[in-house]
Structure 1
């Protein structure tokens, strides 16, 4: 097993974030020796930051970064990667299909720097 940081850019994710994080943590507990989920709140205008803070308080393996404004799809992952502690898996964004997140994360190979789902 390897150590994994999952970086998730978040925008308007207050409703979906808790479920995504819980599912990821469940999979990571079996797929990695050590793991963390890094939530990068990209200037979201809803309660995403508050939800992210609650998840950080409840789970040791969750970290959160708040960007001052919406910097977009390229800068948010970079901010999360800079804060990551382990080998990195970046998720395209917080709206990624739960099934991908829960089935593919366990197939990450040692040495892989990033993975992302391919559109069908």
Structure 2
């Protein structure tokens, strides 16, 4: 695991150096260098999802919570990572307004995604209090 982490860090640092050098000549190529490194590391990181997903499913199976809650958790994590990376890429391109917009979209998506959980929580609290 340490070796893979060092490799991912090396890919990102190398891409950052190349991107910095390329920005002097062509900003578009610098952006594609960064996007390529992000894609490569992202795809490699996806390999770590299998054991994480199976462990989370095992833990969740031990509870009496509906499986839909775990699905909401995964969707929320996906939204967080996607909007975070997209916002950072927009920020790197000098587009701070776009970065804030994608972060706003992610936050609103999380609120919308969590509404069923909020409804269940409020229903449970109401039942307990009455």
Q: TM (normalized to structure 2)?
A: 0.28
* Larger relative helix fraction: 2
Q: TM (normalized to structure 1)?
A: 0.30
Higher RCO structure (Cα 8 Å, ≥6 apart): 1
Which structure has the greater CA radius of gyration?
A: 2
* Larger relative strand fraction: 1
